[in-house]
Amino acid sequence: MPNFDQELDASGLNCPLPILRAKKALTGMESGKILRIIATDPGSVKDFEAFAKQTGNELLESTEEGGKYIFFIKRA
C-alpha cells in the first residue's frame, strides 16, 4: 500500500459524488502528492480508472477490502 498525503472517505456516496469529491481534494493538493480514497460504490472502480485517464492524474493502486474500494491517486 503506497504512502499517502491526504485521505478522502466517500463511503456511502454514489456516482458521481466520489469522483467530484476526489477532484475537489486533488485540486487543493500539490503535484506529486497522493490522495487515498475510500468508496463503497462498486461503480467507482471504473469511474476512477476513467477519471485518472481524463485528468492526467495517475491511479497508482485500486483494491477492494470487504465491500470498500480503496484508490490511490497521484496528483499530476
Q: In what order do the strands lie in the sheet with 6-10?
A: 6-10, 34-39, 68-74, 58-65
**Which one of 13, 15, 29, 38 is the catalytic residue?**
15
Q: How is residue 12 written as a grid cell?
A: 456511502
The number of beta carbons lying within 10 Å of the beta carbon of residue 71 is 25
Active site residue 35: no
Question: What is the set of active-site residues?
Answer: 15
